[in-house]
Amino acid sequence: MSREREPKRADAAGKTYALGAFFGEGRNEVIDPIPHAAALGIKVVRIEAGDATLRLDYRPEFVGDPSRGLVFGGVITTLMDQALGVAVSCGLEDLRPIATLDLRIDYLRPADPGKSLFARAQCYKVTRHVAFARAVAYDGAEDDPFANCMATFMLGTAMQGSEYVSALQEFARKTE
DSSP secondary structure, 162-173, as one string: -HHHHHHHHHHH
Residue ranges of domains in the chain: 3-175
Looking at residues 3-18, what average pLDDT do you find? Answer: 61
- In the three-class reduction of DSSP (H, G, I as helix; E, B as strand; rest coil), residue 97 is classed as coil
Helix (H) or strand (E) holding 54: strand 51-56
Class of the 3-175 domain?
Answer: alpha beta
- Average pLDDT, integer, range 69-82: 94
Decide: 30 and 22 in contact? Cβ < 8 Å.
Answer: yes
- What spatial distance separates the first Cα and last Cα of the chain, rounded to whole Å? 12
Q: Are 88 and 78 in contact (CB under 8 A)?
A: no
Residue positions counted in the chain: 176
Mean pLDDT of the chain: 88
Q: Is the pLDDT of residue 117 over 80?
A: yes
Evaluated on CA atoms 22, 23, 25, 28, the torsion sign reads: positive
Q: What is the pTM of this model?
A: 0.87
Query: Longest C-alpha distance within the chain, in Å?
Result: 55
Residue 5 pLDDT greater than 60, yes or no: no
In three-state secondary structure terms, 63 is strand
pLDDT per residue over 142-154, tens digit each?
A: 999 999 999 999 9
